[in-house]
A = this chain, B = another copy of it.
Amino acid sequence: MTAVKEIKDVVTILFAGDSGDGIQLTGGQFTDTAALLGNDISTFPNFPAEIRAPIGTVAGVSGFQLNFGSIEIFTPGDQCDVLVVMNAAALKVNLKNLKKGGVIIANSTGFDKRNLRLAKMDEEYTLQGDKRLEGYKVHEVDVTKLTRETLENSGLGTKAVDRSKNMFVLGFLYWMYDRPLDITIKFIEGKFKGKQDLIDTNIMVLKAGFHYGETCEAFPTQIVVKPAADIEKGVYRNVIGNEAAALALISAARKAGLQLFYGTYPITPASDILHTLSRHKNYGVKTYQAEDEIAAICSAMGASYGGALGVTASSGPGIALKGEAIGLAVSLELPLVIVNVQRGGPSTGLPTKTEQSDLLQVMYGRNGEAPVPIIAAQSPTDCFDAAYEACRIAIEHVTPVFFLSDGYIANGSEPWKVLKGDALPKITPKFAAARKEEDAPFLPYSRDEKLSRPWAIPGTKGLAHRIGGIEKENLTGNISYDPDNHELMTKLRQAKVDKIADYIPEQKLDNGKEGDKVLVLSWGSTYGVVKTAVKELREEGQSIAHAHVRYMNPLPKNLGTLLSKFDKVLMPEMNNGQFVKIIRDKFLIPAIPYNKIQGLPFFTHELKEKMTEVLNAK
């Protein structure tokens, strides 16, 4: 049977099932295939907090949302067109994420009595009998049974057989969306290298799923999503935010001619940067898993002091622990990159969920006057650029710098146009040169035009000097309790950070123009969704503009002027209102906060509603 083909601009699929069901892998494969076919994509994995929550329970549901299209895509999509559920719990959790009238593909075995019980649903429940599903297109497929049948004669045990049922689903969806199987086949061959039986069976099941689509009457139509036309030509890869950050660190060290030392203590969702870096020792990367976050940052500072690019990373609770040491970094004035992959707080909070609620912590979370530059990434691929920029500023301005990311972009992925190392901006460390005895004495706290001090690394002839956390005399760096000197040094440290504003781009509008009625001012991972919402509203003829800040401290020099060009400034944040405090303080404008504190990114529709409200208000 040849199916009818229907063309769509953009499709959102949400794979959901038990953490043991291979949901992330299935989503990842579909993503790779979509990417390789030239679609624009954006993904959003959503894990449970437990390693393996009891099978079949609501707590154990893992999700992977994928948005792909022939048009430009900036978010993983609000609600999905197709919801794939491997069991009852997955439906229970995710039904609200499906568009009205959307498609449900449900694994029948996942709705047996045992699974219904585990999901705390009525044991008599049936999909057919569920009133709430009226208006949706529900397709039950007995994935488990079909997989078992496919592998009846494979000689594999039931457990192993069942483990490949995600391949059936994937094959089926490949058929639905008219995708080729070869990319996943290649992946299977790589993954199970040396285990020919597993290669064979997985491919068999994948194909079985595909053929099931062809044969089964239920889906008369295949959906075609053409390659994205607007995408710049070139070679692409897929990249996850944390991976991009790791690549940026390696690249920056390389471009600056420095060793990379990464001192950290594992914590969700930052650990994957460590995992990625530790696989690249042959790039001269030294990773150090310290005993705690304090040792981690101090080891990184020790490395920086020695002339390496010292980097430390954590998430909220770990960053809190580093506060005292960050104060020392400010006082010592050494290059250091502090990565904060934010998650839901306060305290342990929602470790696997996303939030932007550490901005004020990184801005102010230390004793004394201790200003630190802050750069925030806006998307998975931007994790590369922003982290690279953080390294550049740290090294060239000889200062600790915060790189802010969050669980959403750290785990999300995007296509990324492959860069050449040559194309990356140069980074020039400012090492103090060796001196002879007859030279003038070395002044470790003298400053250049950037107001930064020389990086004088141990082992350099003639530069022996002492530094520490007690207030230092200007120029010499000797201990000084002099009142005026303290005021001078405090102001110099602040001025040095402020001065960075001369070395960063001015704030631009991402969309719209000066004089529009409302400016939406966003930062960090909300970029994609705010961009989408503003774009859609502009297409509807609304007078709304969008600016997205990545340099959180110091702010771009022209930001105040830019903001003054708009009647209203709306600031959506995934927190209880943090950047808005900084903006209101600096510019004394009645910026309007709009907050979501659910451990989840904004939806486009939520934003559009709020924006419309602000547009319509007097």
In the complex, A602 Cα to B364 Cα: how many Å? 24
Instruction: Report the stretch among A101-109, A344-352, A420-428, A553-561 that lies at the interface.
Output: A344-352
* Interface pair B481/A367, CB less than 8 Å apart: no
Interfacial residues of chain A within 259-277, with CB under 8 A of chain B in the complex: none
* Interface pair A481/B350, CB less than 8 Å apart: yes
Specify which of B318, B365, B582 is in contact with A361 (CB 8 Å cutoff): B365
* Interface pair B366/A320, CB less than 8 Å apart: yes
Specify which of B486, B490, B576 is in contact with A491 (CB 8 Å cutoff): B576
Number of identical protomers: 2
Instruction: Report the stretch among A63-71, A327-335, A524-532 that lies at the interface.
Output: A327-335
Nearest residue, chain B, Cβ from A468: B348
In the complex, A320 Cα to B320 Cα: how many Å? 7
A414-457: CB near B (< 8 Å → 1, else 0) gives: 00000000000000000000000000000000000000000000
* Interface pair A367/B350, CB less than 8 Å apart: no
Which interface residue of A342, A344, A366, A581 has the most chain B CB atoms within 10 A?
Answer: A366
Given A327-B345, A347-B331, A585-B585, decide whether A599 and B481 contact each other with a Cβ distance below 8 A: yes
In the complex, A318 Cα to B358 Cα: how many Å? 20
**Chain B residues, CB < 8 A from A494:** 576
Specify which of B321, B332, B490 is in contact with A321 (CB 8 Å cutoff): B321
Interface: A484 (CB within 8 A) = yes
Interfacial residues of chain A within 160-217, with CB under 8 A of chain B in the complex: none
Interface: A9 (CB within 8 A) = no
Interfacial residues of chain A within 557-612, with CB under 8 A of chain B in the complex: 575-576, 581-582, 584-585, 588-590, 596-600
Given A49-B481, A370-B347, decide whether A365 and B491 contact each other with a Cβ distance below 8 A: no
Nearest residue, chain B, Cβ from A352: B481
Nearest residue, chain B, Cβ from A480: B350
Interface: A392 (CB within 8 A) = no
Q: List 15 A-B contacts (CB under 8 A).
A: A48-B481, A316-B367, A320-B323, A320-B324, A321-B324, A344-B368, A345-B366, A345-B368, A347-B367, A348-B469, A350-B486, A357-B369, A365-B366, A581-B585, A588-B589
